[in-house]
Structure 1
Amino acid sequence: MGMDALQVFPVSRAAADQRAGWAGRTGPGTCYRLYTESAYLNEMLPSPVPEIQRTNLGNVVLLLKSLKVENLLDFDFMDPPPQDNILNSMYQLWVLGALNNVGSLTDLGWKMVEFPLDPPLAKMLLMGEQLGCLDEVLTIVSMLSVPSVFFRPKDRAEESDAAREKFFIPESDHLTLYNVYQQWKQHQYRGDWCNDHFLHVKGLRKAREVRSQLLDILKTLKIPLTSSWPDTDIVRKAICSAYFHNSAKLKGVGEYVNCRNGMPCHLHPSSALYGMGCTPEYVVYHELILTTKEYMQCATAVEPQWMAELGPMFFSVKDSDTSLLEHKKRQKEEKTAMEDEMENLRKEQAEAEREEREKRAKQRQSVSTLGLPEGSSTYLRPERLGL
């Protein structure tokens, strides 16, 4: 679905039997099963669904492509994921610019392989380098790689909400996370400061660790650190470059619809944009989480022009002087160019295979006639070998 859903799901029969085996392991015990026999036989799967079949395969596809695996649909997986999942992940990588029109890794794709991150986060880092705001993007990516750092105890909810609001940067949750990290850094990474501001010190320390690891990778790739602070627009543009496929348009108060598939998305009450006063018309979000509603996690306001510039395969700014016919004509030209590219690749591959076959045939020929005088038989008599 392109969405992370925390759904309650029955255990599998294999997992239930394993749990039942725990009763009486170290002493006499009884296992009480809180479900009927018919539920066990009819509602439970024989074994759990392997993770590779129910998660985003962006990283897997990127890794296999870097290992020169050309045809992923014929790859011998131990638990083959559905073909649609592989194709969707390849499509997502093509959209991000990691794969070219014929499915090979681009220069950007080869760089993205180096980072142990989701492809959109790796793309955000590399766009941060191009736009000159790598320092800010590095911190944001590190903060997105750890669970939420905000702490909201039940008995002090109002207090913690007020503390969280102090960090808000109204147009972006991503920049709010950056602000939290910067404030913590200014206070010498102190744990007591985190407790006073309802922040998880463990999460922040983990984010600092991730940041230093990513910094080491950037150093090995010889990518220099650049900063654009306090110009936040450039940072928002870098975020948009990686998440324009997760963009949503305003529909009602705090309610959005996904620009591509029309899926309803809602701003979470804890989002910085929720209490902004005026809700932005276009936002991009990190991911959709399905709980009571489809909530956007980590949203940032963006300009529609950026979406057209960075995601031309989905969005375009309608010029008043261009007609529908011209638009269709341009689309047709782009499609023809892609088909030509595919045809050229097929020809190149066929040519390479033919050359390879000829080369092998020549090698076999030279091996069979190796070291024999011209016109002599290839059969060697025993006395010739001194036997």
Structure 2
Amino acid sequence: MPVSLGLGLAMSLLGAAVGAPGLLLIGILVLLLAGLTNLWSQRGLHRLVYRRELGSSRAVVGDEVKLDLVIRNEKLLPLPFVRTEDHASDDLVLRERPLARSDRPGLGIIDEGWSLAWFQQVVRHRHIVAARRGVVQFGPVRLRVADLFGRSAVTSELALPDRLIVRPPSVPVQPTGGHRPAPGDRASPRGLVEDPAFFAGVRPFQPGDPLRRVHWRATARLGRPVSRRFDPAVSRQALVAVDVQTVEGPHWVMTYDEDVVESLVIAAGSLVRALLAEGTACGFAAAGWTGSIQRLAYLAPAAGPGQLSLVADMLARLSPFASAPFPLLLASLPARLPRGATLHVLTGREPSPYLPILRRLERGGTRVELVCFGPQSGLAVQRARGVGLGAVLGRVAPDWRAPGVVELTG
């Protein structure tokens, strides 16, 4: 028997025995409060429903996402004091109030107090400010029900996992200096490889056409020489590869230059968008963590309507430090990229360690272009051009925190 319940019972019996109505009344009140506290302990969490409603599962840096916190008491017992501690990533920014501190590393608390009558639902509207790219994790939620004096009566914890993916912004890609065409606009110096299995008709004979290409029956019928025409085996394909390591040294040190990393991420997303808009099948690769156990992030070139969304999600999850040496990623590309594809390498450091690999890729039929960012961009362009590779200077203007355009200076 709880102490308060025993005390109330003793006071009531003593008050009745000695004829003291005041003592009897106090005893009855103590019994009543003890009974209610016991009731809140046993039934306080019963049919108490809490949920979190996100206005969207994805956002772009700078957006505001609506967050509704809903709690409902589905029983006759009123709940004068309810507290919810909704855990979320500690970099979450709420417009209305800051997060409370949590005893769990990397998490903060959306701390709310409630008072609920019987069968009452309360909704509170909050707004998430998407201040930085990344993945905001939600959960678990701790529910606390207290008695009339605010003393904790019962506590429970719910998982309620959820997440908000904050994508980096994408901006126009603008060539400057020398009127260099934007990526995807210029014609390839190599023609697309034709597949003899894809017969597409005939065309006028051109000097240099081999005799086996001449369509003799059509030539006899038309009275002039014509050659067979075939569709290309593949469409235009490109891959944007990001060198996530921005500080010289071993990749496992996990140091990075935030300004350069974020500029690379914004430029990568913007370049992919520009290439897809030109009709180029585009993919993405990086030697960085993206929320899985895979050390290398890779998305095969495609031109479907969902490709840009997949790349944006991958960029949102991309770690600011390298997961593996960048040359390891480049060495895996010959088996993945078709001959004639274009490789856009975005880097924020001096690329000498992997220039030989890029040269081998070019000799194998892959067109390579470096886009160099950061304080060493001038030196990086010079080194790349020194070995015969195409290279341009890249800059997110005016700044990665308020991007307006990705400038490519050739």
Which one has a larger percent strand, Structure 1 or Structure 2?
2
TM-score by length of 2: 0.18
Structure ID, larger Rg: 2
